Amino acid sequence: MELDKLPKPEEMQIDLTPPESGWMDTPVNMRDGTYSYPAAAKNLKILDMPNPREWSVTADDWKLPQNWQEIILEGFKERLEKYRSFKLFMDICVRCGACADKCHFFIGSGDPKNMPVLRAELLRSVYRKNFSTLGRMLGRFSGSRELTLPVLKEWFYYFFQCTECRRCSVYCPYGIDTAEVTMIGRELLNLVGLNINWVIEPVANCFRTGNHLGIPPHGLIDMWEFMVDDIEDITGIKVDLPVNKKGAEILFVTPSGDYFADPGTYTCMGYLMLFHELGLDYTWSTYASEGGNFGLFTSHEMIKRLNAKIYAEAKRLGVKWIIGGECGHMWRVMHQYMETMNGPADFLEEPVSPITGTKFENSKQTKMVHITEFTSDLIRNGKLKLDPSRNDRFRVTYHDSCNPARAAGLMEEPRYVLRNVVNNFFEMPENSIREHTYCCGGGAGLGNDENLDMRMRGGFPRANAVRHVRDKHDVNRLICMCAIDRATLTALMHYWAPDVEVGGIHELLANALIMEGEHERKLDLRGEPFSGEEEDEDV
Amino acid sequence: MNAWFSVFTALVAVIALVLLAMLGVETIGLKSIFGVIIPYVAFVIFFVGVAYRIIGWAKVPVPFRIPTTGGQGKSLPWIKASYTDAPWTTLGVILRMALEVLLFRSLFRNTKAEVREGPRITYASAQWLWLAGILFHYSFLTIILRHARFFFENVPSFVEMLSSVDGFFQILVPTLFLSDLAFLAAVTYLFLRRVVLPQMRYISLPADYFPLFLIGGIGISGVLMRQVWKVDLLKVKELTMGWFTFHPVVPEGLGTIFYVHVFLVSCLLAYIPFSKIMHMGGVFLSPTRNLANVNRSERYVNPWNYPVKVHTYDEYEDEFREKMKEAGIPVDKE
Ligand code: HEM
Ligand code: SF4
Ligand code: SF4
């Protein structure tokens, strides 16, 4: 599917009124452009995952194992005993509806099963049938139903129509996190071989080559060297490129999406320039060349299998601590799962900035610091020479990625960096930023082309807020701290707000960064002239 | 399920319960069953059931620390962090929970999104649900506390005080309590929003209407008992004190309306452990709310953490060694 095949934005039909027929009696409609393609068998085999086969979402027969119901119900029971969150969230929803119009997929599609409460009810109805006494006794009156093939198809459709963004959980009076329900729902689907290729292929790649894109080590070197050359053209400085360097002080890990696709590459160049300017003793790794973790969109076990590389590599290289780059879901994993799954990392040291001496107390257990924590500390201590006027061409707004905001509370650091590297910064309306932020519409593995219709719908609330600041403040640059966003928001802006470009924080930082020994810089990292152009003297 | 069908079944169920009580007491004369046995059974089901559910939840481990951060987390000292929305201390967590439980903090964030021509989205503040929720729960609590006068030989002074504040505006004789008004108004609102708002109608099950009708029925029967078919409070107290001293007596002369009230309360008590009303216990256990956002600064152990199959560096280097050497990347084994 391509953008020009979609109806024009102003013709996009959205109606939030539910249909007449009740949700249990409305079968799922696999409309083109709103679902993702199944995982290829070869990828499942690499990962030893169940039921590898070729199948099609629109076919009647999904080639499930004979006893698929039994497998799923068994898995259901197991997870009820392992996750209090899951058990509780099955039990305590009062269907007050506070979460209903908080989901970007509901707002953009009007499909009532995209209300978080109904998404969760898809599982709850089966839960009541099989695991609740009263539910079994009262049958449909209690809202319970049998796990049938149509129900399973509904699960597939709607659990791959949730980006696990946690926005609903902010508003729920009990903190019911539908992302958690979706995660478990996807785990159950995986048990019978129902998964999407846009998740499983990156997972399989990452497992074998260390990154989602499947770039082998020599390929990575090529990409990084390419950036080093570009930086030299722009600044006249040949920056260091330490790779797999034993004994370095810091391991740097960032999503591989930023290695090869614009505009992420510019952010990646920004890191290279910053670290060079600081003379940081750090290293990239080809084995741990992925900060992101599509295991998060597969199962808890898969998170752990992929994430294990980070600490393992830190240990092998003998570094003291780790810095992580701009990425969204990566920070859900690094912040909330890594240390529990693969820690304790007692072979590392509590992170201390070698430049400022600041102790990063908040990371003393995981030993992993977010790049904007690191950079804002540098700026705060006056360690960087910055000329924000080089970014004067940009009128900037900032999109909080779901996970850094709602799963890690990283909201101020990126803003602090931005305010110091640009002169024109404008916030989007309050109910669309920080903990209220809207998803880009393509997270959690849904940022693929076949799902484009639903992506544009899911991203609509975000785009709506961007259009607001564009019209009010002439905003022309949407900044985000996430590699997935940089890809998905680019398409989203193309569709809803074509004059707004997307970029990362460290791209703008590197534009503004006055480097020791640079030649007179005329171009920004994208090779476009700075505004004005007469500046360049120290500030 | 059709929405009206849900309303209808729930309503029929509650009416059936009312009729059952009337029939049982008036026609068959089973006063001791409705006045003693059923309340006792209901109490037992309630306590055992609630304990069973809560222990059931508490027994399930919390493998990961997954708070929802509703504000800036604690990081560098000069960045202002949100003490209760992204707490990093135990006190912060307790305050966060207290705000949730006592003031419905999260519900207060509610906004209403609407899609208009364009398309564009507009938002409106939508605190009505919050207000009705607060009114509903607090008036419910007040009413329960006021009932304490039936359960203690000497009415505790705070109950007296509560009653006099509650009855401050002496509308009607006997005084119509504010909490009764608020309670009935809130239940009515909660019911109406379920049937009037299309999205609410769509998600509501009979299990959502049933407790509202049941609780509404309790409220109405209570008010009727106070304002219309008055009952002799001394006799009521004789009965309730009988329950507590385990010498139950069934005083003569209590009207049917009283038995209806007690029967509906018994039904509610017995129903709670099996229903969504258990949310009261669940709030306290919710892992997105009751954990501190100290994920990177403190260890968190998953009791069932198990080893998984990984792809080791050695396996990786074995596959790519030659290419790595060619590209000038250091390797472990030559
Ligand atoms: C820890 C204490 C409690 C908290 C924090 C709490 C919170 C809430 C919230 C936020 C709602 C949704 C808003 C609404 O629909 O009004 C709700 C609904 C409800 N609560 Fe509670 N509650 C608590 C205790 C109780 C108790 C003890 C009962 C006993 C009967 C109860 C009965 C209900 C009912 C029946 C509803 C559903 C109203 C509807 O269907 O619209 N709650 N509660
Ligand atoms: S806000 Fe929470 S309790 Fe209310 S319907 Fe949504 S998930 Fe259920
Ligand atoms: S987690 Fe996000 S995408 Fe999923 S139901 Fe909640 S709001 Fe919607």
Question: How much is the ipTM here?
Answer: 0.94
Contact call for B204 and A300, based on CB within 8 A: no
Q: What is the pLDDT of residue B1?
A: 59
Identify which of A162, A329, A332 to mutate to test ligand 3's pocket (most ligand atoms within 8 A of the CB). Answer: A162
Shortest distance between the Cα of A346 and any Cα of chain B, in A, equals: 11
For β-strands A321-324 and A250-253, DSSP reports them as parallel
**Cα B122 from Cα A383, distance rounded (Å):** 43
Do A16 and B114 form a contact (C-beta atoms < 8 A)? yes
Identify which of A125, A171, A172 to mutate to test ligand 2's pocket (most ligand atoms within 8 A of the CB). Answer: A172
What angle, 0 to 180 degrees and rounded to 10, lies between the N-to-C axes of helices A178-191 and A149-159?
A: 130
Of the candidates A140, A137, A187, the one whose C-alpha atom is nearest the C-alpha of residue A160 is A187
Spans of chain A below 70 pLDDT: 1, 531-539
Nearest ligand for residue A167 CA: 3
Contact call for A244 and B329, based on CB within 8 A: yes
Q: Residue A105 has what DSSP assignment?
A: H
Does residue B131's CB lie within 6 angstroms of at least one atom of ligand 1? Answer: no
How many other CB atoms are there within 10 angstroms of residue B131's CB atom? 14
On chain B, the residues whose CB falls within 8 A of the CB of A98 are 106-107, 110, 129
Q: Going by CA atoms, what residue is nearest to atom 14 of ligand 1?
A: B133
Does residue B265's CB lie within 6 angstroms of at least one atom of ligand 1? Answer: no
On chain B, the residues whose CB falls within 8 A of the CB of A81 are 60
Shortest distance between the Cα of B146 and any Cα of chain A, in A, equals: 26
The CATH number of the domain covering residues in B3-326: 1.20.950.20
Among B118, B204, B299, beta carbon nearest to A365: B299
Domain ranges for chain B? 3-326
SS3 state of residue B69 = coil
Q: Write the secondary structure of A156-212 as one string of H (helix), E (strand) and C (coil).
A: HHHHCCCCCCCHHHHHCCCCCCHHHHHHHHHHHHHHCCCCEHHHHHHHHHHHHHCCC
Among B110, B287, B332, beta carbon nearest to A84: B287
Q: Going by CA atoms, what residue is nearest to atom 33 of ligand 1?
A: B277
Contact call for B310 and A308, based on CB within 8 A: yes
Give residue A107's identity as a one-letter amino acid code.
Answer: I
Do B53 and B281 form a contact (C-beta atoms < 8 A)? yes
A335 has a chain B CB within 8 A of its CB: yes
**Cα A106 from Cα A361, distance rounded (Å):** 39
Does residue A97's CB lie within 6 angstroms of at least one atom of ligand 2? Answer: yes
Q: What is the pLDDT of residue B252?
A: 84
Identify which of B279, B283, B289, B290 to mutate to test ligand 1's pocket (most ligand atoms within 8 A of the CB). Answer: B279
Q: What is the pLDDT of residue A535?
A: 47
B191 phi and psi, to 5 degrees?
-70, -50
Contact call for A412 and B80, based on CB within 8 A: yes
Q: What is the pLDDT of residue A202?
A: 97
Among A80, A91, A107, beta carbon nearest to B115: A107
A368 has a chain B CB within 8 A of its CB: yes
Distance A461 CA to ligand 2 centre (A): 21
Do A258 and A252 form a contact (C-beta atoms < 8 A)? no
Q: What is the pLDDT of residue A538?
A: 47
CA atoms within 13 A on the CB side of B210: 24
A137 has a chain B CB within 8 A of its CB: no
Residues carrying CATH 1.10.1060, chain A: 25-195
Among A22, A88, A335, beta carbon nearest to B2: A22
Protein residues with CB under 6 Å of any ligand 3 atom: A 102-103, 105, 116, 119, 162-168, 178-179, 182
**Cα B305 from Cα A303, distance rounded (Å):** 12
On chain A, the residues whose CB falls within 8 A of the CB of B53 are 91
Q: What is the pLDDT of residue B245?
A: 86
**């209903």: which residue's tokens?**
A100
Per-residue burial over B55-90, b if 16 or more Cβ lie within 10 Å, else e, is eebeebebbbbbbbbbbbbbbbeebebbbbbbbbee
What pTM was estimated for this model as a whole?
Answer: 0.94
On chain A, the residues whose CB falls within 8 A of the CB of B319 are 208
Contact call for A410 and B79, based on CB within 8 A: no
Of the candidates A304, A273, A292, the one whose C-alpha atom is nearest the C-alpha of residue A212 is A292
On chain A, the residues whose CB falls within 8 A of the CB of B312 are 312
**B205, B212, B300, B326: best mutation site toward chain A, by most A Cβ within 10 Å?**
B205
What are the counts of helices (DSSP H) followed by strands (DSSP E) for chain A? Answer: 23, 7
**B115, B201, B306: best mutation site toward chain A, by most A Cβ within 10 Å?**
B115
In total, the C-beta contacts within 8 angstroms joining chain A to chain B are 320
On chain A, the residues whose CB falls within 8 A of the CB of B305 are 340-341
Q: What is the pLDDT of residue A539?
A: 42
SS3 state of residue B123 = strand
Do A346 and A499 form a contact (C-beta atoms < 8 A)? no
Of the candidates B86, B66, B79, B300, the one whose C-alpha atom is nearest the C-alpha of residue A372 is B79
Distance A179 CA to ligand 3 centre (A): 6
In a structure prediction context, what are the per-residue pLDDT tens digits for chain B, which is 334 residues long?
578 889 999 999 999 999 999 999 888 878 888 989 999 999 999 999 999 999 999 999 999 999 999 999 999 999 999 999 999 999 999 999 999 999 999 999 999 999 998 899 999 888 899 999 999 999 999 999 989 888 887 777 878 778 878 776 666 666 778 888 999 999 999 999 999 999 999 999 999 999 999 999 999 999 999 888 888 888 888 899 889 888 888 888 888 999 999 999 999 999 999 999 999 888 899 999 999 999 999 999 999 999 999 999 999 999 999 999 999 999 999 8
Distance B107 CA to ligand 2 centre (A): 10
Distance B278 CA to ligand 2 centre (A): 14
How many other CB atoms are there within 10 angstroms of residue A122's CB atom? 24
- The class (CATH top level) of A25-195 is mainly alpha
Contact call for B106 and A83, based on CB within 8 A: no
**A83, A283, A342: best mutation site toward chain B, by most B Cβ within 10 Å?**
A83
Contact call for B207 and A141, based on CB within 8 A: yes
Q: Going by CA atoms, what residue is nearest to atom 3 of ligand 2?
A: A93
- pLDDT > 90 in chain A, percent: 92
Contact call for B305 and A340, based on CB within 8 A: yes
Distance B279 CA to ligand 1 centre (A): 7
Angstrom distances, CA of residue B129 to CA of A169, A173, B194: 17, 11, 11
Of the candidates B293, B270, B334, the one whose C-alpha atom is nearest the C-alpha of residue B40 is B270
On chain B, the residues whose CB falls within 8 A of the CB of A92 are 276, 278-279, 282-283, 286
Distance A224 CA to ligand 3 centre (A): 36
Distance B275 CA to ligand 3 centre (A): 25
Of the candidates A281, A343, A352, the one whose C-alpha atom is nearest the C-alpha of residue A312 is A343
Distance A218 CA to ligand 3 centre (A): 39
A145 has a chain B CB within 8 A of its CB: no
Beta bridge partners of A425: A396
| Residue B41 falls in which region: left (phi positive, over 0), alpha (psi -120 to 50) or beta | alpha
